[in-house]
């Protein structure tokens, strides 16, 4: 009846939850559940991705373990969510990337860094690689800008295509028409809900991390991470425009927009991932999908390394360390790009899409009522 044991268990839980409904004020999952009476695999994958894993329902539930009904909604939905990432992976043969994901991401990152170092050594004068550089175009003495843009452009494009295919599979699985994806009110509502992490607050008291006492630290650190990431992405985009539209060649002075955006974002990407890792280490083991801890850690580590190497490059760009740091930074960023479709990054994509659908369902229900 269900594709996996996890989905069968999620069905059992949602059926029990649907006959209680005490948790309906906590987040979007339970109101979305109430709109259904039976739960197909697609419905469960939708609910699983709608769940922000705040943990409140576990501590509020009168039937959580050791009760014989053994209701552990956050954990089971976390498992279903992780399994859904693999199910939507494109191309199919890469689905196993989600097994032992932490190790695989680490290998990808190491390989990518090694290739950039080897490339620098092979294609540029070793004297240049280990010499102090300064002035406009110093990076491009190690790697021509067009080559860099081509490699990263292709890597980014690949990631976008793979993620796009995943979106298609998810949307088909949950049975939502494509038209919903271009409805401005649903998209706008989902953007508001996602950008504020509206549902990572246990219904207003804060999410439950290390026990039954609510805290707000995960939300705060996630904001550091998410907005840090966006700022870094903005920095890269502005720099690209500078290069091609204004003909201004990197590196830029510290007060220029790309550096300011990148520095701010970089700080966010140092604080955020560290905070989230600390929260994760203290998380109540009862609600953790322990098999996937590696996936979460790998993604946070990649974001942290992206920032650390980037900031390192900024500080040391006029010293002989620049060459190696540039290879490190580019290697990490490239690995981050090409592994995006096969790691924790996709949680943001599917959760956002689930929020779009929820916004639509909620609006329909309110219009009907």
Binding site for other proteins (CB under 8 A): 15-16, 18-26, 31, 34, 37, 56-57, 59-63, 66-69, 202-205, 212-213
| Chain centroid, CA 174 distance in Å | 20
Residue pointed to by tokens 């520095």: 263
CA distance 155 to 335: 9
| Residue whose C-alpha is closest to residue 102's, from 84, 82, 116, 87 | 82
Asked if residue 324 lies in contact with residue 129, where contact means CB atoms within 8 angstroms, the answer is yes
Question: Considering beta carbons, is residue 62 or 93 the nearer one to other proteins?
Answer: 62
CA distance 201 to 285: 19
Min. distance of Cβ 20 from other proteins in angstroms?
5
Return the SS3 of 29.
Answer: helix
The one-character DSSP state at 27 is -
Min. distance of Cβ 205 from other proteins in angstroms?
6
Min. distance of Cβ 23 from other proteins in angstroms?
6
Residue pointed to by tokens 């955020």: 272
Min. distance of Cβ 113 from other proteins in angstroms?
47
**What separation in angstroms does the CA of 193 have from each of 61, 74, 242, 269, 350?**
25, 19, 33, 21, 14
Min. distance of Cβ 65 from other proteins in angstroms?
8
Question: Considering beta carbons, is residue 11 or 41 the nearer one to other proteins?
Answer: 11
Question: Considering beta carbons, is residue 192 or 213 the nearer one to other proteins?
Answer: 213
The first and second tokens of residue 222, run together, are 């996630």
Return the SS3 of 36.
Answer: coil
Question: Considering beta carbons, is residue 203 or 272 the nearer one to other proteins?
Answer: 203
Question: Considering beta carbons, is residue 39 or 304 the nearer one to other proteins?
Answer: 39
| Residue whose C-alpha is closest to residue 51's, from 30, 35, 29, 33 | 29
Min. distance of Cβ 257 from other proteins in angstroms?
44
Question: Considering beta carbons, is residue 35 or 160 the nearer one to other proteins?
Answer: 35
Return the SS3 of 207.
Answer: strand
Question: Considering beta carbons, is residue 25 or 96 the nearer one to other proteins?
Answer: 25
> Residue 161 CB: number of other CB atoms within 10 A?
12
> Residue 22 CB: number of other CB atoms within 10 A?
12
Min. distance of Cβ 3 from other proteins in angstroms?
20
């Amino acid at each position: 009846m269900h594709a996996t044991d996890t989905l069968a268990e999620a069905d059992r839980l949602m059926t029990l939850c649907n006959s209680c409904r005490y948790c309906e004020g906590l987040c979007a999952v339970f109101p979305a559940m109430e709109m259904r009476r039976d739960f197909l695999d697609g419905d469960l994958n939708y609910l699983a991705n709608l769940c922000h894993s705040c943990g409140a329902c576990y501590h509020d539930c009168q039937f959580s373990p050791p009760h014989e009904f053994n209701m552990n909604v956050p954990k089971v939905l976390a498992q279903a969510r992780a399994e859904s990432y693999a199910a939507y992976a494109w191309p199919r043969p890469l689905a196993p990337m989600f097994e032992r994901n932490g190790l695989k991401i680490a290998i990808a990152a190491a390989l990518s860094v090694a290739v950039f170092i080897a490339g620098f050594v092979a294609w540029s004068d070793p004297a240049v690689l280990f010499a102090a550089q300064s002035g406009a175009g110093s990076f491009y003495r190690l790697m021509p800008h067009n080559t860099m843009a081509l490699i990263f452009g292709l890597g980014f494009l690949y990631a976008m295509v793979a993620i796009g295919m995943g979106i298609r599979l998810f949307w088909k699985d949950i049975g939502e028409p494509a038209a919903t994806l271009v409805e401005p009110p649903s998209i706008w509502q989902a953007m508001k809900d996602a950008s504020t992490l509206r549902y990572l607050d246990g219904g207003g008291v804060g999410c439950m991390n290390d026990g039954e006492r609510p805290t707000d630290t995960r939300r705060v650190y996630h904001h550091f991470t998410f907005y840090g990431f966006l700022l870094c992405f903005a920095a890269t985009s502005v720099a690209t425009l500078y290069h091609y539209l204004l003909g201004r060649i990197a590196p830029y002075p510290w007060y220029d927009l790309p550096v300011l955006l990148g520095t701010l974002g970089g700080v966010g990407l140092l604080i955020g991932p560290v905070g989230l890792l600390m929260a994760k280490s203290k998380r109540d083991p009862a609600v953790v999908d322990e098999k996937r801890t590696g996936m979460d850690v790998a993604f946070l580590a990649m974001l942290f390394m992206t920032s650390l190497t980037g900031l390192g490059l900024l500080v040391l760009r006029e010293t002989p360390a620049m060459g190696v740091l540039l290879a490190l930074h580019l290697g990490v960023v490239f690995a981050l790009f090409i592994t995006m479709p096969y790691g924790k990054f996709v949680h943001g994509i599917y959760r956002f899409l689930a929020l779009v659908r929820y916004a639509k369902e909620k609006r329909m229900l309110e219009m009907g009522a």
